[in-house]
Amino acid sequence: MSAEGMERGRAEPAPGAVADTEMEEEFAALDVDAPRVGIVMGSKSDLETMEKAQKELESRNIRSEIRVMSAHRDPDTVAEYAKNAKMRGLRVIIAGAGLAAALPGVVAAHTDLPVIGVPLTSSTSVAGGLDALLAIAQMPPGVPVACVGVDNPRNAAVLAARILDA
Ligand code: RP5
């Protein structure tokens, strides 16, 4: 492994093998309409709020997709989505959840794409969404999740746009 390869902590591809990044670029180029931002949420009950993120992205001509998947109820679906996200051309993931809001952190555990968490209130929230806010913000070192304000998916979309533009 070269010094550069070691610095990145990754093994270089074997001679003749196609590097991950090349595959990802080719995959993204195949579908020019591929979404760049994935918007996921823990429940259908989050949809009305989280659609505001998609609206903000649409106003900026940024393609996105919306999926409902719970870190607790559908753990395998979440893991699969996060693991395949980069290969499918996604560049940022926005994840909204309420209560014990594990979804953003679990997504971040399965991808190195930037993940923006949106703490949400629900009918049984504690302290106006403080439960979800802490669950999303208090990630362990090495597995970061950006965290916007409670019920503020629009800020997540603005941040995603800035990441895409950086
Ligand atoms: C969380 O629990 C969801 O993100 C939602 O905010 C909250 C309540 O979910 P439902 O009981 O309405 O499905 O996982």
Tens digit of each residue's pLDDT (9 = 90 or more) over 44-92? 999 999 999 999 999 999 999 999 999 999 999 999 999 999 999 999 9
Q: Is the CB of 99 under 6 A from ligand 1?
A: yes
Q: Is the CB of 42 under 6 A from ligand 1?
A: yes
Output the residue whose Cα is nearest ligand 1's atom 1: 98
Alpha helical stretches, state H, the chain: 3-8, 20-30, 47-59, 75-85, 103-110, 130-137, 153-165
pLDDT score at 7: 38
Residue 34 burial class via C-beta count within 10 angstroms: exposed 0-12, middle 13-18, buried 19 and up? middle
pLDDT score at 155: 98
Output the residue whose Cα is nearest ligand 1's atom 12: 45
The side-by-side arrangement of strands in the sheet containing 92-98 is: 64-68, 37-41, 92-98, 115-120, 146-147
Q: What is the pTM of this model?
A: 0.84
In the predicted model, residues of the chain with pLDDT beneath 50 are 1-13, 16
CA distances (Å), origin 60, targets 52, 86, 135: 13, 21, 30
